[in-house]
Amino acid sequence: MASLLRHVWGFLRSRKLAVSLLLAVMGWSFVATFVPQVSREPEKVAPWAVSYPALEALVRPLGLHDAFKAPLFLGVMALLFVSTTACAWERTRFSLTQFAASKGLTESAIRRLSASPKMRFVVPEGVAGSAVMDAARVALRRAGMRLRSGARVGEAAGGRWGLLGSPGFHISLALLFLVIGLGQMSRAEGMIGVPVGYPVSDTASSYGLYGAGPWYQGTGSGLEIGASEFALSFMDGGVDRGASAVVTLKRNGVEVARQRVYPNNPLRFGSIMIHQNDYGLAAALRVEESSGTVLSATEVLSDFDPAVANGMSPAEFSIDGSGPQASSLDVSVAIQAEHEGGDVLRVLPKAKTAKLTITGPASYKQEATLAAGEALTLPSGQLLRLVDIVYYARLSVVDDWSVYPIYALFVIAGAALSLAVFTPYRMVRLLLVQGPDGLVLHADARHARRDPLFIENVEEALRVAVDGLRDAPDAMAPNSEEEKR
């Protein structure tokens, strides 16, 4: 059992596994960019499947249409988290060992240094051991390290804080995978259309496309999302940012956030992030009594579509019946888009008109083309009025608490990596040994980044320091038995 556990532990902390999993995640993400995702473009999934039936037979079982929530992807991410955690533990344990070693050499380290040194320098005859340590101290100080020594043993270290770099990076990476996974399980995301001048409640029913993780709490933020100051071409810093609107958030009627939203400039408020996705036209309609009292109001959204004769996709809604003889009616709204040379212009039409087709029970049907402000009479005697035609902003709204922790972990990981790269841990150990050749200086040097030049520089500095004692009168060994010992 112990052998099996050691084998599993070795497998989990292997670099090959971590690299393989990272490559798998990168490959999966790359393939997913070529496959329509149900979370962003569900209308394209079915046509894609018809166009590529052979690929669909592979894509659908793998879950690539919802690539980042597919069981296979989540399983790989979970294994990557475990592997990274194992690597982080190994590096943390090693770094703590190095910290402990910097407080003094252990007996086992002294035995290793005595038996198999990486460097060996024969001390000139008659030179005192204290003089050797003094010379080594001066040489290593020039390399940025402070030598702590006794009569026979010395240790110097530099870049000690660099020991925190590797474990800090791996711990941050492991936490990053964990936060991303938890964030996916507890986030909500959707597309919502907000007509300019007509705020919309941030609830699940207001979204045309909406999805939430199994751990998401609630069905919306309770905020009111509004759009204003829509511009087809917004210039910022001399760069055309394209179509954009000023998005506002209100809570209990009080504005809590306002910002113009365009690519790479989302509105952030707490855990909510709002991007501009696209735009279209919206028809604002009201059902009124003949006296002018408004009974209900709705705004239907329509997208530009060159394949349709009027240039806009049709929009539909229902009017609930009222009164003893009234029945529910279905209304189809076709906005007339602006055309030029046979092309549909993605602009607000000069003549704001829409064709309304109303159907009901007993083959009832009524058609009328209304201009903004006009109304038609329903069978109940009520009026259906086309109030206005305006732009609407299609917004991508994400409610995800993990965004800011992810940013923070990226910063921490970058700082830890910089610490490891620019302040690498360096260590030199010295031991004076009395042997057949007389007094000999044994040395061992290590560099966290395994820089061979560091080893060479230390070897050269110690050689020069020891050789320089040959003609130094103050370096001669005294004759006392204590010094000889």
- Spell out the per-residue pLDDT of the chain, length 485, in tens: 777 777 788 888 888 888 899 899 999 999 998 999 887 777 788 889 999 999 999 999 999 998 888 889 888 988 989 999 998 888 888 887 776 655 567 788 889 999 999 999 999 988 888 899 999 999 998 878 888 888 889 988 888 888 889 899 999 999 998 898 888 888 888 899 999 999 999 988 888 888 888 888 765 667 999 999 999 999 988 899 999 999 999 999 999 999 999 988 999 999 999 999 899 999 999 999 988 899 999 999 999 999 999 999 999 999 986 554 457 899 999 999 999 888 999 999 999 999 999 998 888 899 999 999 999 998 888 999 999 999 999 999 999 999 899 999 999 999 999 998 888 888 899 999 988 878 999 999 988 888 888 899 999 999 999 998 887 766 665 544 444 44
What pLDDT is stored for residue 442 in this prediction? 95
| DSSP per-residue codes, 408-438 | HHHHHHHHHHHHHHHS--EEEEEEEEEETTE
In the chain, where the domains are located:
2-94, 102-159+424-484, 187-399
Residue 474: per-residue pLDDT: 66
Token duo for residue 418: 């910089």
Looking at residue 451, its pLDDT comes to: 85
CA angle 288, 291, 293 (to 5 degrees): 45
Amino acid 412: pLDDT: 96
Q: How does pLDDT run across 387-399, given as a tens digit for each residue?
A: 999 999 999 999 9
- Predicted confidence at residue 482, as pLDDT, reads 40
Task: Tell me whether residue 263 is exposed, middle or buried, using C-beta atoms within 10 angstroms of its C-beta: 0 to 12, 13 to 18, 19 or more.
Answer: exposed
Residue 283 in tokens: 């028809």
The pLDDT of residue 7? 79
- Residue pointed to by tokens 């751990």: 215
- CA distances, 67 to each of 34, 42, 55, 70, 145 (Å): 11, 13, 15, 5, 51
- Give 128's contacts (C-beta < 8 A, 6+ positions apart): 475, 476, 477, 478, 483
**Chain mean position to CA 166:** 21
What is the DSSP annotation of 440-471? EEEEEEEETT--HHHHHHHHHHHHHHHHTTTT
Answering whether pTM is above 0.85, one says: no
The angle subtended at Cα 475 by Cα 469 and Cα 478, nearest 5°, is: 145
pLDDT for 15 equals 82
pLDDT of residue 218: 66
pLDDT at 439: 92
Token code pair at residue 395 = 């917004």
Q: In whole angstroms, what is the distance from residue 98 CA to residue 92 CA? A: 10
Strands 153-158 and 146-149: antiparallel
Tabulate helix, strand, coil % of the chain (nearest 5). 35, 35, 30
The class of domain 102-159+424-484 in CATH terms is: alpha beta
